[in-house]
Amino acid sequence: MNTLGIDIGGSGIKGAPVDTATGTLLAERCRIPTPSPSAPGAVAEVVRRIVEHFSWTGPVGVTFPGVVVDGVTRTAANVDHAWIGTDARELFTEASGLGVVVLNDADAAGVAEATFGAGHGHEGLVLMLTFGTGIGSAMIMNGVLIPNTEFGHLEIDGHKAEHRASDHAREVHDLTWEKWAHRVQRYLEHVQMLMSPSMIIIGGGVSKKADKFLGFIDLPGTTVVPATLLNNAGIIGAALAAASAAAPVAGR
C-alpha cells in the first residue's frame, strides 16, 4: 500500500508518499519550515499544503513531537503549548479532507528502523533516540513498539538531557563534535543503566554525520549504531502507521 507520511519537526515539516511494502519514498520530499509560532492552525495549514503538493487522496500518517494518545497531543516540549490537549487527528483530518493517523515522531522513526532499518530482525530491547531540536525516544521490544516514552526529558546532573545533549544544544553552545559526543556518552550511560538495551539506534539529523561523533561513543554491552533510514525515518514510520490503520480487518 502507498501512503503519505508527514513528519512535523521543530524547524521543518516534511512529507513524501511511501511504498510501505519496501519503505521506499516514491517522490522527492516536500519540506516547509515549521511556522513560528507553531500554533495548531498554522501547522495544520502546512500539512494541507504538503497533501496538496502531492495531489494526495489516500491515507495519511502524521508525526508529532510530543506524546500522542488516541490522536490527542498531550505534551508539546518543542512546539507551541497550544497543542496540549488538541485533537490533532481531527484537526489534520479537517485540514486535509483525508483519513489521518497521528503518532509521536520518535515512535514513528523507531517503527521504521525496526521494520526496514538498523533494528530489522533484532531481538531484545531496542531504543531509538532521535537527536534534533530535542531528544526523542522509541522503545521497541522484540519488534513491538511501547509508545510515548520521553527519555529526552530524563534529568542528568541537574539538567534535562535534551537541554545538554540534543543537536540543538550542540549548535547553541557551539560544541565540537567531540565535546558534544562526551555529553551524548553521559546520557547514553544513564539510559543504559536504566533500561539495559541490547541496541541503541541514533537517529535524527545527526544520523547522517555519524562518522563525526560515533567514534567517541563507547557503551560496552550495548550496540550503538546510526539509523540507516537517516532523516526519512519519521516519514516512513508515519506512512506505516497510516497503512496499518487503513488495512482491512480479517473477517470484515
DSSP states of 107-162? HHHHHHHHHHSTTTT--SEEEEEEESSSEEEEEEETTEEE----GGG-EETTEEHH
- Asked if 138 and 166 sit in the same domain, the reply is yes
Whole-number pLDDT of residue 247:
67
- Asked if 218 and 158 sit in the same domain, the reply is yes
Q: Residue ranges of the chain with pLDDT lower than 70?
A: 247-252
- Asked if 99 and 172 sit in the same domain, the reply is no
Rounded Cα–Cα distance for residues 114 and 127 (Å) = 10
From residue 143, alpha-carbon distances to 110, 139, 205 in Å are: 10, 9, 24
Has residue 113 been placed in a domain? no
Has residue 112 been placed in a domain? no
Domain count for the chain, please give it: 2
Has residue 50 been placed in a domain? yes
- In 57-108, the DSSP E strands lie at 60-64, 68-69, 72-73, 86-87, 100-104
Whole-number pLDDT of residue 11:
85
- Asked if 42 and 83 sit in the same domain, the reply is yes
Query: CATH no. for residue 33?
Result: 3.30.420.40
Has residue 184 been placed in a domain? yes
- Asked if 200 and 219 sit in the same domain, the reply is yes
| Chain segment 112-165, per-residue pLDDT in tens | 999 999 999 898 999 999 998 889 899 999 888 999 999 999 999 899 999 999
The residue to which cell 531484545 is assigned:
124
- Asked if 128 and 43 sit in the same domain, the reply is no
What percent of the chain is predicted at pLDDT more than 70? Answer: 98
Has residue 251 been placed in a domain? no
For residue 70, the enclosing domain spans: 2-107+233-246
Q: Give the 3-state secondary structure of residue 173.
A: coil
Quote the pTM value: 0.88
